[in-house]
Structure 1
Amino acid sequence: MNNTNLSIIAFSSEFAESVSQLVHDCVQSIEHPRYNTEQLNAWSSAPRSKKHWQQRLQRSQSWLLVADSPATEAQKVVGIINVETHFHSRGYIDSLYVLPSLQRQGLAAKLFHTLESWAQAQNYTSLSVDASYLSKGFFIKQGFKQIQPSYQMTKNQVINGFYMKKELAD
């Protein structure tokens, strides 16, 4: 990503297709002994529809990490985070993905801090997440505590994770 500037912007439906491709690419690039090919394909066998991501992200508070390319004047989605805002799961972090080639550069933390600042301004008392084996360490560094093991059952595959929570300061 030479000659690009990275910025965080609010989700806009024009980026839904790019988000879908990003999430799929991130899942399919996972190399971890706890996730086999069948689990990764159950998690994301192909990019979801543009409509799926438009609906999913418009019913939550969502931010994108975009790379601005001066050469093309286009923005490329290289990261996403979103938090549920409705009553039942208010404060639940639904998605956090960063392009594999840009991981381990502090970009997920920048996305998270944007979300956390927003949540504090909204008087949220806590944030929660079902972290994967890959993201558990990241969330611990952000101050989350593991509450219990968790799992998702999708397409006859069990995808294990960890339900974690962070109390927000008053």
Structure 2
Amino acid sequence: MLTLIPYQKAYAQDVANLCHLAIQSISEAIYSADEKFAWSFAPRSPYHWHKRLSKSQAWLVVDSAKSISGKPVCCGVINVETRFDSQGYIDSLYVAPNYQKRGIAKQLYQALELWARQQKFAELTVDASKVSKPLFEAQGFKLRHRSYQEKRGVIIMGYYMNKPLS
């Protein structure tokens, strides 16, 4: 059974592994091996992910039908910035490879949007990957411009998108 929960520190290592595996599982027809290696050559530390997610509003989807060490398996994560200068920026959205194509990313996004509307955010923004761009378009986001991030000397292309909420 898949359940949406607020981020919890106990899942920091799971999130680190999930994000790395999600990136590495992207088809090389979409992002090259060099791009994926530059984006994530190894899982980031649990400390990194806990710090990143605890300074924002974050949710997980967990599978209570499967457990590791007595805790449900983490199969998806999303977070949105809450600070004034970057409020409404969707920082991360990842789904574990063996849970993709089940509506988890959409479920995570819809929880985020509902929360953002309750907080009276004016808009949501995201640097969408080639993989996540169709999901964000289906949720009403519009392309503002292409975005380029340099990671380990490799340029990775994405799409800066926004959706007004008011």
TM-score greater than 0.5 by the shorter chain: yes
> 1:101 corresponds to which residue?
98
Deviations 1:55-108 (A, max 9, x none): 000100000000113777421110000000111111000000111222122111
Say which of 50, 58, 73 aligns to 1:62.
58
Q: Distance in 2 between matches of 1:34 and 1:153?
A: 17
> 1:148 corresponds to which residue?
145
What do you get for the CA RMSD once the two structures are aligned? 1.3
Q: Distance in 2 between matches of 1:71 and 1:43?
A: 28
> 1:82 corresponds to which residue?
79
Residue aligned with 2:37, SS: helix
Q: Distance in 2 between matches of 1:37 and 1:88?
A: 34
Q: Indicate the percent of aligned positions where both proteins have the same amino acid.
A: 44
> 1:157 corresponds to which residue?
154
Amino acid at match of 1:20: A
TM-score by length of 2: 0.95
Aligned length: 165
> 1:118 corresponds to which residue?
115
Structure 1 segments of 4+ aligned residues over 3 angstroms from their partners: 70-73
Q: Distance in 1 between matches of 2:80 and 2:14?
A: 19
Task: Please say if residues 22 and 94 of structure 2, whose CA atoms lie closer than 8 Å, have aligned partners that are also in contact.
Answer: yes
* Pairing 1:122-137 to 2, within 5 Å after superposition: 122-137=119-134
- Could you list the runs of 5+ residues in structure 1 that have no partner in the other structure? none
Q: Distance in 1 between matches of 2:156 and 2:30?
A: 9
* Residue 48 of structure 1 pairs with residue 58 of structure 2: no
Residue aligned with 1:143, SS: coil
TM-score by length of 1: 0.93
Residue aligned with 1:88, SS: helix
